[in-house]
């Protein structure tokens, strides 16, 4: 009897294990809303377009305005007011990271029997070894730990230290395989390196050992603008040099995604792999990116800062070839992917929702609101921040404080349409929009709907009461790469 029961349990486990998909999460960096083919872009993205049109395009999808906040929320499933990372990005020499008591997505997937791999940009802390990807749920890691660097030399310069009394040589190599610095990648473009790594993980994966999770935060298409010349050739008609380079970088990334899908097909994995594609924030208009027709850009609480490109592809999706207008936020991937992996999130305090029924079946989103941000006034000797907050409830969005980067920026080569204003210079204030009716945030309704303003402000106050104190430590001179053999590595002991 017992034998029958355990045989039965074995069969059940084997069947459900087979149905659990491989997961590939591709996160593009600073990829603008206007810059994907299916958003009427002048940039060609045939591979991304094909995957998106075969799957579900997420057109009411939100990320955070900048890198670390989006990455920390994706990996922890929690708003940054709940992790202490509400002040901004983690600078290379700051002893900071997602708190170690936050369980990360790869840990849950590993627990569920996935093999887990991170390839690309980390940027959620590395000052002690226990913050490294390989200590936080990833079986393997290949990439760089800081927020940006040279695509080819893989050197991270001292750029951001001009205003800080740093001495020594702050240029160091930032490229790692697992926990070791690797120096032989110099001369190879990161989009090629990261794609090749993912292809080789797919090729060598043994399906009998369970599914895999690949987290691929590409360096593309963040500054610096660097790309092998061949990718720029199709764009010689683009006059603006930065836009031209950026378009080439997007094309290289698109080709990389194409290579990954080919590897899936040749390995027979294409019918049991789910691909999620997302940007981390709006495009940086000073570095070739564009978010037209949305207002604002990277760093701002306007839609151009955080209404993101996103889509999902995979044969486990029930209703494919769709556009979803359901409200989805980057924190939702954590419970959604853990659900698909057959795991559970019991015992965790998450801000995300399981969106699988929404994505797969077109069910209404369980999410009715998004806390976009609450950034407290924060002063120290290193940097100061002003207060700002943003919230979305249903169709309504409220911004208070300094939203940042407020203009509508047409793509290079296009001028502001006649009769429209493209300048949106503001400093601080309060704005209320119905973003469903007015996604371009042109008509401030705070005067017409004072009770709505009050309702959303109250909700911000509610969230603010749940906030933990921000962590934004001064940079640590001990991080200097010169002290560590010319490399960016954890500089504090466990
Ligand atoms: C760098 O070296 C490692 C180990 O020696 C090797 O596995 C890897 O393929 C090399 N990478 C390149 C780009 O040559
Ligand atoms: C895609 O694969 C082709 C053929 O192997 C290769 O030449 C190309 O460099 C790859 N592209 C990327 C972005 O890795
Ligand atoms: C995927 O395709 C392979 C080969 O065609 C087949 O053996 C397998 O059963 C399929 N799996 C699913 C989940 O459809
Ligand atoms: C949730 O997962 C944990 C392992 O992380 C397991 O111990 C627990 O039994 C699961 N709970 C449910 C309700 O499935
Ligand atoms: C923060 O710093 C700014 C600029 O130095 C200053 O104007 C402001 O009063 C400070 N705010 C607080 C709360 O200390
Ligand atoms: C600083 O370090 C980088 C990388 O190790 C090296 O290429 C550069 O020559 C160094 N500069 C100085 C002034 O020592």
d(CA 62, CA 328): 6
The answer to whether 163 is a known catalytic residue is no
**In terms of residue numbers, what domain contains 375?**
371-465
Are residues 360 and 212 both part of a single domain? Answer: yes
Q: What is the mean pLDDT of residues 447-475?
A: 95
Of the candidate ranges 12-26, 73-87, 143-157, 232-246, the one whose mean pLDDT is the lowest:
12-26
What separation in Å is there between the alpha carbon of 109 and the centre of ligand 4?
A: 12
d(CA 144, CA 220): 13
pTM: 0.93
Q: Which of 34, 39, 117, 123 is catalytic?
A: 123
The answer to whether 67 is a known catalytic residue is yes
Looking at the domain assignment, is residue 12 inside a domain? no
Query: In this structure, which residue's CA is closest to atom 2 in ligand 6?
Result: 171
d(CA 31, CA 298): 9
Of the candidate ranges 186-200, 334-348, 422-436, 453-467, the one whose mean pLDDT is the lowest:
422-436
User: Is the bond into 221 cis (omega within 30 degrees of 0)?
Assistant: yes
Q: Which residue has the higher pLDDT, 489 or 15?
A: 489
Q: Does residue 181's CB lie within 6 angstroms of at least one atom of ligand 1?
A: no
pLDDT tens, residue by residue, 244-276: 999 999 999 999 999 999 999 999 999 999 999
- For residue 18, the model assigns a pLDDT of 53
pLDDT tens, residue by residue, 279-310: 999 999 999 999 999 999 999 999 999 999 99
d(CA 65, CA 402): 13
Q: Does residue 379's CB lie within 6 angstroms of at least one atom of ligand 5?
A: yes
Are residues 308 and 342 both part of a single domain? Answer: yes
What separation in Å is there between the alpha carbon of 169 and the centre of ligand 6?
A: 6
The DSSP output letter for 330 is G
pLDDT tens, residue by residue, 359-408: 999 999 999 999 999 998 766 555 667 789 999 999 999 999 999 999 99
- Band (pLDDT 50/70/90 cuts) for residue 419 is confident
Are residues 398 and 308 both part of a single domain? Answer: no
What separation in Å is there between the alpha carbon of 280 and the centre of ligand 5?
A: 30
For the chain, the domain total comes to: 2
- For residue 49, the model assigns a pLDDT of 98
User: Is the bond into 293 cis (omega within 30 degrees of 0)?
Assistant: yes
Q: Does residue 152's CB lie within 6 angstroms of at least one atom of ligand 1?
A: no
User: Ligand 2 atom closest to Cα of 256?
Assistant: 13
Looking at the domain assignment, is residue 5 inside a domain? no
Looking at the domain assignment, is residue 314 inside a domain? yes
Q: What is the mean pLDDT of residues 72-81?
A: 98
- As a whole number, the mean pLDDT across the chain is 93
Please report, for the domain that includes residue 435, its CATH number.
3.30.1120.10
Ligand nearest to the CA of 487: 6
Are residues 194 and 223 both part of a single domain? Answer: yes
What separation in Å is there between the alpha carbon of 211 and the centre of ligand 3?
A: 14
- For residue 135, the model assigns a pLDDT of 98
- For residue 10, the model assigns a pLDDT of 42
> Is residue 115's pLDDT more than 90?
yes
Q: Does residue 44's CB lie within 6 angstroms of at least one atom of ligand 2?
A: no
Mutating to test ligand 6, I would choose from 171, 173, 186 the residue with most ligand atoms within 8 A of its C-beta, which is 171
d(CA 454, CA 438): 20
Looking at the domain assignment, is residue 455 inside a domain? yes
What separation in Å is there between the alpha carbon of 140 and the centre of ligand 3?
A: 27
Q: Scan for tokens 């701002």, then name that residue.
A: 300
């Amino acid at each position: 009897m017992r034998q029958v029961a355990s045989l039965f349990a074995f069969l059940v486990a084997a069947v459900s294990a087979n149905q659990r998909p491989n997961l590939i999460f591709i996160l593009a960096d600073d990829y603008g809303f206007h810059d994907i083919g299916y958003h009427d872009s002048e940039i060609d993205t045939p591979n991304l377009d094909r995957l998106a049109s075969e799957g579900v395009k997420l057109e009411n999808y939100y990320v955070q305005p900048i890198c670390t906040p989006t990455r920390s929320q994706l990996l922890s499933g929690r708003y940054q007011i709940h992790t202490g990372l509400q002040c901004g990005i983690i600078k290379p020499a700051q002893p900071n990271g997602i708190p170690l008591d936050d369980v990360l997505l790869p840990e849950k997937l590993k627990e569920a029997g996935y093999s887990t791999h991170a390839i690309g940009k980390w940027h959620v802390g590395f000052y002690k070894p226990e913050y490294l990807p390989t200590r936080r749920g990833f079986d393997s890691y290949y990439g760089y730990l800081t927020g940006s660097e040279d695509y080819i030399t893989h050197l991270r310069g001292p750029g951001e230290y001009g205003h800080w009394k740093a001495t020594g040589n702050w240029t160091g190599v930032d490229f790692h395989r697992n926990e070791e610095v690797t120096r032989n990648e110099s001369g190879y473009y990161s989009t090629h390196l990261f794609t090749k790594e993912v292809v080789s993980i797919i090729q060598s994966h043994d399906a009998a050992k369970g599914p895999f999770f690949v987290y691929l935060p590409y360096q593309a298409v963040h500054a610096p603008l660097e790309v092998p010349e061949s990718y720029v050739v199709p764009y010689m008609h683009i006059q603006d040099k930065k836009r031209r380079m950026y378009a080439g970088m997007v094309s290289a990334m698109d080709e990389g995604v194409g290579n990954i899908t080919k590897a899936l097909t040749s390995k027979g994995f294409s019918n049991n792999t789910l691909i999620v594609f997302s940007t981390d924030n709006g495009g940086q208009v000073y570095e070739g990116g564009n978010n037209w027709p949305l207002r604002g850009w990277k760093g701002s609480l306007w839609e151009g800062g955080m209404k993101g490109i996103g889509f999902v592809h995979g044969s486990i999706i029930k209703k494919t070839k769709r556009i979803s207008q359901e409200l989805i936020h980057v924190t939702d991937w954590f419970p959604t992917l853990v659900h698909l992996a057959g795991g559970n999130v019991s015992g965790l305090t998450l801000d995300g929702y399981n969106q699988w029924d929404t994505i797969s079946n077109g069910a209404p989103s369980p999410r009715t609101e998004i806390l976009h941000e609450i950034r407290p006034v924060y002063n120290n000797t290193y940097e100061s921040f002003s207060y700002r907050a943003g919230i979305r409830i249903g169709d309504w969005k409220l911004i208070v404080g300094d939203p940042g980067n407020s203009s509508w920026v047409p793509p290079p080569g296009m001028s502001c349409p006649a009769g429209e204003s493209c300048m949106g210079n503001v400093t601080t204030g309060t704005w209320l929009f119905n973003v469903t009716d007015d996604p371009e945030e042109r008509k401030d309704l705070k005067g017409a709907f004072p009770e709505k303003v009050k309702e959303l402000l109250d909700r911000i106050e509610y969230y603010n009461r749940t906030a933990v104190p921000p962590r934004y430590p001064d940079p640590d001179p001990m991080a200097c790469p010169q002290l560590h053999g010319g490399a960016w590595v954890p500089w504090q002991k466990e």
